Structure 1
Amino acid sequence: MRSESTGGAGLAVPMAWLCAEYTADVILRTGGLVAPGSLEFRAGHRALALTVHLCEGGGADTFASGGAQDTDHWLALTACGHPWPAWVEERLAARAAREGHDGPDLALATATWHWLRTTEVYAADLGDLEPWHPSRPLPGTVDESSKVWTPAWELGVPLGHLAVHLW
């Protein structure tokens, strides 16, 4: 979906980005995993919106078509072990080369990636545990009193993955 203009003023409306944000919002709220408005919700929302936006064919078309193919793709991209940060940077660079650096959708996606990389969340230390990955059983329990600062994307990606899985 391309950005649209409001007409005479030439104000570009980032329709693709807005559709991706809407999709992420619906998925996260439906999952009910964290309270809307919390930093955790924002991390999951932004990571999921970025994933949806950077996938070809994601966004508004998902609701019209049922979205099974899109959700399978989103699950694969946000799965534990997938190099999500490298994928994001590669897709952003490809979009910038293809569309130029001045598009409103790309500007919002780039700002979101910057926020996810530079914002840190004080969360439970999962260490090497991957509790969101269904094929790996938990070797023990997580001590939720042991917390560490972690980049927001490291919390947002698994949260987005769980929300898509529940959707």
Structure 2
Amino acid sequence: MLHESRGNTEGPSDGELAVPMAWLYAEYIADELLRTGDLMPPTSFEYRAGRDALALTIFLSDTQGELSGIRVVSQLETWLSLTAYDQPWLDWVGERMAVLTADALTSGEPAPDLELADLAWRWLEETELLAPDLDAVPGGGSPGGEDDGPKVWTPAWRLGLPLGHLAIHLF
């Protein structure tokens, strides 16, 4: 989103800053949902994974460009369905990012929202976190608490997505 131009010149060539309001708003909503759910400490990598996965979902589901005007409650069902366990979220994000990238290249306008979304997307895909093995047999034959169970390196999005989904349920 560009700040309104004053004068005959338009766009960033006149020295004005392009502000990524849609992305910042999506990130704010995701952060509020996660904080309300109180599922993870806000300083943890798991929290960041949840916030980024949820912010991507919120940002990319805004197909009409109305993100700053949405009412969170009216969108909860959409976000729940997109983040559900049986949905192809990873493919959906990849397809939406490709469409938005192509649109930005075609328009030739700066896309600061898309740049931030791309950074979050890359972090979620490329970062692995050591987490409990969710596919392990319950109990696993080892005594002890949850922290004693088997752990595996897991892509950040695989931890963040269910965390975001749960935060929406708890809202």
> How far is 1:98 from its partner?
1.8
Letter of the structure 1 residue corresponding to residue 96 of structure 2: R
2:17 is equivalent to residue 11 of structure 1: yes
Residues 51 and 128 of structure 1, relative CA distance in 2, 3 Å threshold: farther
> How far is 1:124 from its partner?
0.2
> How far is 1:6 from its partner?
7.2
2:62 is equivalent to residue 61 of structure 1: no
User: Structure 2 length as normaliser, TM-score?
Assistant: 0.81
Unmatched runs of 5 consecutive residues or more in structure 1: 130-139
Letter of the structure 2 residue corresponding to residue 13 of structure 1: V
Letter of the structure 1 residue corresponding to residue 32 of structure 2: V
Q: What is the correspondence of 1:1-167 to structure 2 with a 5 Å cutoff?
A: 3-5=1-3, 8-56=14-62, 59-62=67-70, 65=71, 67-100=72-105, 102-127=110-135, 140-141=138-139, 144=147, 145-167=149-171
SS at match of 1:5: coil
Percent of residue pairs bearing the same amino acid type: 48
Q: For residues 106 and 21 of structure 1, what CA distance do their matches in structure 2 show?
A: 13
Radius of gyration: which is bigger? 2
Letter of the structure 1 residue corresponding to residue 104 of structure 2: E
Q: For residues 2 and 32 of structure 2, what CA distance do their matches in structure 1 show?
A: 23
Q: For residues 128 and 89 of structure 1, what CA distance do their matches in structure 2 show?
A: 28
Q: For residues 39 and 52 of structure 1, what CA distance do their matches in structure 2 show?
A: 20
Letter of the structure 1 residue corresponding to residue 75 of structure 2: D
Q: For residues 76 and 87 of structure 2, what CA distance do their matches in structure 1 show?
A: 15
> How far is 1:117 from its partner?
0.4
C-alpha RMSD over aligned residues: 2.1
Contact 2:124 2:155 in 1 (8 A): yes
Q: For residues 28 and 6 of structure 1, what CA distance do their matches in structure 2 show?
A: 33
Aligned residues: 152
Unmatched runs of 5 consecutive residues or more in structure 2: 6-13, 141-145
Contact 2:34 2:50 in 1 (8 A): yes
